[in-house]
Amino acid sequence: MSGGVDSSVAAVLLKEQGYEVVGITMKTWDYSESGGHNGKVVGCCTLESMNDARAVGMKFDFTHFIVDIREEFGDWVIDKFTSEYMAGRTPNPCVLCNTHIKWTALMRRADALDCDFIATGHYARVRYDDELKRHVLMRGLDANKDQSYAMWGVSQENFARTLFPLGDLTKPEIRQMATDFGLDHVASKPDSYEICFVPDNNYRRFLKDRVPDMDERAGPGAYVSASGDVIGTHEGYPFYTIGQRHGLGLALGYPAYVTAIDADTNTVTIGERDDLLRHRLTASGFNPIKYADLFEERPAEGKIRYNDKGASCIAWQDEAQTLHVAFPEPRTAITPGQAVVLYEGDDVLGGAWIDHVL
């Protein structure tokens, strides 16, 4: 329970359905480690958010706990976030959090409390397919809020013990439910889109704080063209991402985009929009969801970032477990470090981390 409207309504719905509910708020980070305190209330780690979650439990007569998982969160999410940028990649911390924290770490707490299930306020659905003998992750009914992309790393064992009370509802319906339940303190809370542990939304500042020798490891370097000609100076390769256009400080007479990042040479390649178009990618860490594997080529819809609308593709695994995805129509700014998630209708086939763009 983050103290927001979604998880609050999810808890109350389960209580009304007859479940014995235990509310959990996870303390994942603090300002002393992340910095960037700008007075904004973000995420689930402020005192106000924790009190909002606790107030729901008090109103509906269920227990609420706060658990400190800062060490686990730091190891799996914050450290990985930092190391990926330092490797010239663009990370997705929400997937890491869902895989290793909100499910794996939280399931351990559920076992300690003798709970049968964990439930969240995510906009997603899960069903058991009798024919496939597998638990299948599905898109949430509200296409504008669907969060299935960020949950491809969850295991079959954990999906078997997961409830998504909001999966068949829309955001307006949930806000109305919060009002009807008398949860006025959360009913109109705005959604948060910042990275929770970067409250000022300034990841450059965050990286500089986390990497003491940043200037030595990744100081100013060369902007280069596709042919290798030096065309300017950048502020350090970790501060850029594939497809970035704004904030480059270049005047080339045409719209310029970041098309490649080389951490070893501290160079950032610049090109035009067409230079971002690619047909294929390879990815690692594939987690199959609907089917046990993808060793045979399968048509799918592939999403290459959270807010991507998706596009038709062919996907398959090779003997080394590498996932290959080929798009008939080229995609723009496929980015190493992000996830590719495959869909078959509303069902999630699985996902993996993008390594190479071909």
Please report, for the domain that includes residue 290, its CATH number.
2.40.30.10
- Looking at the fold, whether 231 and 334 belong to one and the same domain comes out as no
* Residue-range definition of the domain harbouring residue 66: 5-187
Number of domains in the chain: 3
- Looking at the fold, whether 11 and 137 belong to one and the same domain comes out as yes
Token look-up 């290959």 returns 324
Measured distance CA(312)–CA(300) in Å, rounded: 6
Residues 46-58 have pLDDT tens digits of: 788 899 999 999 9
Other CB atoms closer than 10 Å to residue 356's CB: what's the count? Answer: 12
CATH number at residue 247: 2.30.30.280
Q: Which residues are catalytic?
A: 97, 196
Of 225, 251, 271, the residue that ends a domain is: 271
Residues 103-143 have pLDDT tens digits of: 988 899 999 999 999 999 999 999 999 999 999 999 999 99
- Looking at the fold, whether 165 and 107 belong to one and the same domain comes out as yes
Residues 189-242 have pLDDT tens digits of: 888 767 888 878 888 999 999 999 998 999 999 999 999 999 999 999 999 999
Measured distance CA(31)–CA(37) in Å, rounded: 6
- Looking at the fold, whether 156 and 220 belong to one and the same domain comes out as no
Which residues are bridge partners to 298 per DSSP?
315
Cα(first)–Cα(last) distance of the chain, in Å?
41
- Looking at the fold, whether 56 and 181 belong to one and the same domain comes out as yes
- Looking at the fold, whether 256 and 289 belong to one and the same domain comes out as no
| Residue 41's pLDDT band (cuts 50, 70, 90) | very low
Provide, rounded to the nearest whole percent, the portion of the chain with pLDDT above 90.
81
Domain contains 34: yes
Measured distance CA(298)–CA(273) in Å, rounded: 30
Measured distance CA(269)–CA(258) in Å, rounded: 6
